[in-house]
């Protein structure tokens, strides 16, 4: 279990560092459309969810081969964890901006870190106990990734898809 604990911490820091880099990658590459599939292309809430999702997806693949294959429902637990982390980001962001009437950079960063922390905690709590189907988790990861791609280039014109 110490190995799993270490893996959770590595994944938490990986998500924060990689997600932070993804925030800037699209601009750094001259707005490369391929890079836009997995990095933020605007300041919308939807685009910022990529900053958690894709680092967690990459780490999940790596972690599965290291340690996750020991649990039948590992991948499903990870997709549940990242969905909960993204829900945390959305909930905290809209709650604090509703109270303050504007966004605040330090709070935006803290909501991202909180989403990564919730993802890590839920993985720690759920993965060893989950008996779900990892194939379903893989399918859900793929469907969410496809949604990010579609809504990056064809975003609905409402709510969390619109840049402030």
Q: Determine the pLDDT at residue 2.
A: 85
What would the two tokens of residue 102 be? 């504007």
Average pLDDT in the chain: 92
Cα 162 from Cα 20, distance rounded (Å)? 21
Q: Which of 15-29, 94-108, 149-163 has the highest mean pLDDT?
A: 15-29
The radius of gyration computed from the CA coordinates of the chain, to the nearest angstrom, equals 16
In the block, residue with structure tokens 């039948």: 72
pTM attached to this predicted model: 0.93
Q: Tens of pLDDT along 113-148?
A: 999 999 999 999 888 776 778 889 999 999 999 999
In angstroms, what CA-CA distances link 27 with 53, 104, 130, 147? Answer: 19, 21, 39, 21
Residue 38 pLDDT > 90: yes
With a cut of 70, say whether residue 1 has pLDDT above it. no
For the residues 92-114, what does the mean pLDDT come to? 94
């Amino acid at each position: 279990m110490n190995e799993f604990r270490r893996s959770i911490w590595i994944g938490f820091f990986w998500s924060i560092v990689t997600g932070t880099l993804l925030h800037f990658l699209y601009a750094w590459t001259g707005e490369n459309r391929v890079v836009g599939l997995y990095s933020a292309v605007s300041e919308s809430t939807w685009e910022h969810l990529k900053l958690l999702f894709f680092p967690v997806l990459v780490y999940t693949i790596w972690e599965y081969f290291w340690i996750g294959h020991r649990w039948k429902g590992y991948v499903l637990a990870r997709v549940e964890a990242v969905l909960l982390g993204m829900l945390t980001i959305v909930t905290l962001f809209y709650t604090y901006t509703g109270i303050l009437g504007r966004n605040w950079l330090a709070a935006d960063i803290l909501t991202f870190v909180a989403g990564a922390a919730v993802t890590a905690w839920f993985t720690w709590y759920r993965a060893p106990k989950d008996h779900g189907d990892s194939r379903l988790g893989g399918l859900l990861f793929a469907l969410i990734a496809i949604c990010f791609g579609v809504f990056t280039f064809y975003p609905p014109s409402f709510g969390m898809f619109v840049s402030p």
